Chains A and B, each alone.
Chain A
């Protein structure tokens, strides 16, 4: 007997979307603060390791996470986890519980060998978490809401990350997480393991292709599914993450930039940046639904190119302080690409391949690119590459990506015309 999708219920859909937004926002906040900043502090300050060594460990984490995410994604496609939402919810609970334990344990690491073992376990949790949670988009968020859902995830994560904590030490970064994660894990456990009536509704929702099949996967309906858009977007997102991380860490640690940006002691500066992230994310969420996603990539690369140019320009003139407009613009670009990252993978997928697509997409473009570029940035800094040269390279990459995208768009249009 063929299974039929359940009748749409707006209330259930809202609940499903809210559940997804909650999980992803906390997950992204964890990633933004604890993983990206906390680990560097743990390695450098707490364990007193040299920068290059920490960079190497970060690269190890990246490669492991990417490899595990792809493997789990592949396995999920093979085992048809795409049609078993409750199993993925239970796995998500296991991941959150493990991450809660890892966060608590991180405060007690005093040895490099323990740090390495801890990193491996951390990579496993992250690698399993990526395909499991991202693929839930296909079951819980209707296609037309994906831009807005991604915008809310981005807004909540960045606003909180800008307001909390006040400094970027491991202790300060873990504090809010240890408040949020244990109750969050408990709620997730209760939802995942108890026989709630809504599971029956959500487990069949992905069969309603009119609502839940991805926007770009929809175009391939009725013919063999093409992987070329997936690989093109993986490449684009890889470049975006790479450019962002390559310059960001260096900027964050430059005293001239610190006072007027994310690490400022002034709450109002961080609040302005947090609100900018929210505005940028909401605008991107609306535009994600309204425009072709390619136009958002023009904005992302264009803004990155402009803002790095502004940073290098201000360095050349060596003023006493920097205007807030630069981090504001940077925050807008970051918010746009984060929104695209949260919505795009599910929109390239069908329920069957959502786990694999999100696994490979986030692993390559997010984790791999971020940590490889962070490691490269740390390596350059350790080798005393001047700041203006560092940012010049980032700026050049952003300009190149912008121009390449324009050329690509031009030639792809030519091809269509020929057909």
Chain B
């Protein structure tokens, strides 16, 4: 009964965290988008559209007097602007025409597109020929530069997630942890391949525009795999801790304690001069990805081919 209550509490806490995280996605409408795959999207005079528009092989026309609030990503097709665009235009390819009455309240990146920009058009931001001309935003360390509240929230979320997964998915996590620590080299090798090929595949799918939602799912899957691997790493560290601390008897507690240690090490590395959190995050994330791949999300135990019993 007690264990049921703890599980219930953990799941509720995770759901609250997830809800809070998702609610943040509503800000500034960044996560809503319009995809123009084929046909024409016309914003006539006097009408206002609020969207981030990605163009496939169709066309987008913002007529004089019409307003588009949001960014435009052009990956082909035709874009004609005679009205107002309250956002950036990134034209990677296709035909872009900015007419004399156009008003762009952002940057215009021409990239590889066939572009015609009327000299009378008003562009508040910069007109850039290629991505290399984009202004340097400065390097930002997402760990040390984030607000303490945000960092604490992230840490609490990860620790709770580790505890919850340790409770519900103990066997898969153990398999991933074994692959990650006992076979770290194959994990790292496979992680490199998954990372390189997975990212390329996702970017390629984004360029087709039609497969944009699928690519988002792929990205989420990669993220989940990395997170799962991190939790498995937490489990392994927690098991080591449990040898010293008898109180850490249950797997959820071990997973949570291990995750705390991991986050602490990451935090210390981030502030140490000459180091950076990347020294831990990058190899561990890539190896996590590989370990999850080797064990199919912990569903099978990984045994190297040269150690397998010969069926013959």
- Using a CB–CB cutoff of 8 Å, the interface residues on chain A facing chain B are 143-144, 215, 218-223, 279, 282-284, 286-287, 289-292, 299, 302-303, 306-307, 309-310, 313, 317-321, 325, 328-329, 332
CB-based contact A329/B306 at 8 Å: no
Q: How far is the CB of B307 from chain A (nearest CB, A)?
A: 9
Q: 10 A-B contacts, Cβ less than 8 Å apart?
A: A220-B312, A279-B192, A283-B190, A286-B186, A287-B190, A291-B304, A313-B207, A317-B112, A318-B112, A320-B130
Q: B58-66, B138-146, B194-202: which one contacts chain A?
A: B194-202
- CB contact under 8 A between A329 and B197, given known A283-B192, A286-B186, A290-B304: yes
Q: How far is the CB of A94 from chain B (nearest CB, A)?
A: 35
Q: How far is the CB of B38 from chain A (nearest CB, A)?
A: 15
CB-based contact A219/B310 at 8 Å: yes
Minimal Cβ-Cβ distance residue in B for A309 = B204
Q: Which chain B residues border A289 with CB–CB below 8 Å?
A: 186, 304-306
Q: How far is the CB of A84 from chain B (nearest CB, A)?
A: 28
Q: Could you tell me how many residues of chain B have their Cβ less than 8 Å away from some Cβ of chain A?
A: 31
Could you tell me the distance between the alpha carbons of A306 and B306 in the complex, rounded to whole angstroms? 30
Q: Which chain A residues border B197 with CB–CB below 8 Å?
A: 299, 302-303, 306, 329, 332
Could you tell me the distance between the alpha carbons of A279 and B191 in the complex, rounded to whole angstroms? 12
Could you tell me the distance between the alpha carbons of A292 and B307 in the complex, rounded to whole angstroms? 11
A325 in complex: contacting residue of B112, B190, B200, CB < 8 Å: B200
Main secondary structure of the interface of B (DSSP, over half): helix
Could you tell me the distance between the alpha carbons of A309 and B204 in the complex, rounded to whole angstroms? 9
Q: Which chain B residues border A218 with CB–CB below 8 Å?
A: 310
Q: Which residues in chain B, 263-312, are within 8 Å of chain A measured between CB atoms?
A: 294, 304-306, 310-312
Q: Which residues in chain B, 106-122, are within 8 Å of chain A measured between CB atoms?
A: 111-112
A299 in complex: contacting residue of B93, B188, B193, B203, CB < 8 Å: B193
Could you tell me the distance between the alpha carbons of A218 and B310 in the complex, rounded to whole angstroms? 9
CB-based contact A332/B196 at 8 Å: yes
Judge if B76 is at the interface, Cβ distance under 8 Å: yes
Could you tell me the distance between the alpha carbons of A318 and B75 in the complex, rounded to whole angstroms? 11
Could you tell me the distance between the alpha carbons of A325 and B199 in the complex, rounded to whole angstroms? 10
Judge if B134 is at the interface, Cβ distance under 8 Å: no
Main secondary structure of the interface of A (DSSP, over half): helix
Report, nearest first, the 3 A-B pairs whose CB atoms are least far apart. A319-B112, A290-B186, A317-B93
Minimal Cβ-Cβ distance residue in A for B204 = A310
Q: Which residues in chain B, 178-194, are within 8 Å of chain A measured between CB atoms?
A: 183, 185-186, 188-190, 192-193
- CB contact under 8 A between A144 and B111, given known A306-B197, A329-B196: no
Q: Which residues in chain B, 196-218, are within 8 Å of chain A measured between CB atoms?
A: 196-197, 200-201, 203-204, 207-208
Most buried by A among B112, B183, B294: B112
CB-based contact B185/A286 at 8 Å: yes
B75 in complex: contacting residue of A221, A317, A321, CB < 8 Å: A317
A291 in complex: contacting residue of B75, B76, B200, B305, CB < 8 Å: B305
CB-based contact A219/B305 at 8 Å: no
Judge if B94 is at the interface, Cβ distance under 8 Å: yes
Judge if B92 is at the interface, Cβ distance under 8 Å: yes
Minimal Cβ-Cβ distance residue in A for B199 = A325
Minimal Cβ-Cβ distance residue in A for B306 = A289
Q: How far is the CB of A283 from chain B (nearest CB, A)?
A: 4
Q: Which chain A residues border B186 with CB–CB below 8 Å?
A: 286-287, 289-291
Could you tell me the distance between the alpha carbons of A332 and B194 in the complex, rounded to whole angstroms? 11
Most buried by A among B185, B189, B200: B189
Could you tell me the distance between the alpha carbons of A290 and B190 in the complex, rounded to whole angstroms? 10
CB-based contact A313/B204 at 8 Å: yes
CB-based contact B305/A292 at 8 Å: yes
Q: Which residues in chain B, 67-112, are within 8 Å of chain A measured between CB atoms?
A: 75-76, 92-94, 111-112
B111 in complex: contacting residue of A222, A319, A332, CB < 8 Å: A319
Further pairs besides A290-B186, A306-B197, A319-B112: 8, Cβ < 8 Å: A219-B310, A220-B312, A283-B192, A286-B186, A287-B189, A310-B200, A313-B207, A329-B200
CB-based contact A283/B189 at 8 Å: yes
Minimal Cβ-Cβ distance residue in B for A285 = B189
Q: Which chain A residues border B294 with CB–CB below 8 Å?
A: 290
Q: Which chain B residues border A221 with CB–CB below 8 Å?
A: 312
Q: Which chain A residues border B305 with CB–CB below 8 Å?
A: 215, 289-292
Could you tell me the distance between the alpha carbons of A283 and B294 in the complex, rounded to whole angstroms? 14
Could you tell me the distance between the alpha carbons of A313 and B93 in the complex, rounded to whole angstroms? 11
CB-based contact A317/B76 at 8 Å: yes
Minimal Cβ-Cβ distance residue in A for B183 = A290
Q: Which chain A residues border B312 with CB–CB below 8 Å?
A: 219-223
Q: Which chain A residues border B193 with CB–CB below 8 Å?
A: 283, 287, 299, 332
Q: What does the 1/0 interface line of B167-183 toward A look like (CB < 8 Å)?
A: 00000000000000001
CB-based contact B196/A328 at 8 Å: yes
Minimal Cβ-Cβ distance residue in A for B304 = A290
Q: Which chain B residues border A219 with CB–CB below 8 Å?
A: 310-312
Q: Which chain B residues border A306 with CB–CB below 8 Å?
A: 197, 200-201, 204
Most buried by A among B93, B190, B196: B196
CB-based contact A318/B310 at 8 Å: no
- CB contact under 8 A between A318 and B93, given known A219-B310, A329-B196, A329-B197: yes
Q: How far is the CB of B217 from chain A (nearest CB, A)?
A: 17
Q: How far is the CB of A73 from chain B (nearest CB, A)?
A: 26
Q: How far is the CB of B201 from chain A (nearest CB, A)?
A: 6
Could you tell me the distance between the alpha carbons of A173 and B202 in the complex, rounded to whole angstroms? 38
Could you tell me the distance between the alpha carbons of A287 and B208 in the complex, rounded to whole angstroms? 32
Minimal Cβ-Cβ distance residue in B for A321 = B112
Could you tell me the distance between the alpha carbons of A219 and B310 in the complex, rounded to whole angstroms? 7
- CB contact under 8 A between A144 and B203, given known A283-B189, A317-B75, A332-B193: no
CB-based contact A290/B204 at 8 Å: no
Q: Which chain A residues border B112 with CB–CB below 8 Å?
A: 317-321
Q: Which chain B residues border A286 with CB–CB below 8 Å?
A: 185-186, 188-189
Could you tell me the distance between the alpha carbons of A355 and B188 in the complex, rounded to whole angstroms? 34
Q: Which chain A residues border B192 with CB–CB below 8 Å?
A: 279, 283
Q: Which chain B residues border A215 with CB–CB below 8 Å?
A: 305-306
Q: How far is the CB of A383 from chain B (nearest CB, A)?
A: 29
Q: Which chain A residues border B93 with CB–CB below 8 Å?
A: 317-319
CB-based contact A317/B92 at 8 Å: yes
Q: How far is the CB of A133 from chain B (nearest CB, A)?
A: 24
Could you tell me the distance between the alpha carbons of A292 and B197 in the complex, rounded to whole angstroms? 19
Q: How far is the CB of B113 from chain A (nearest CB, A)?
A: 9
Q: Which chain B residues border A332 with CB–CB below 8 Å?
A: 193, 196-197
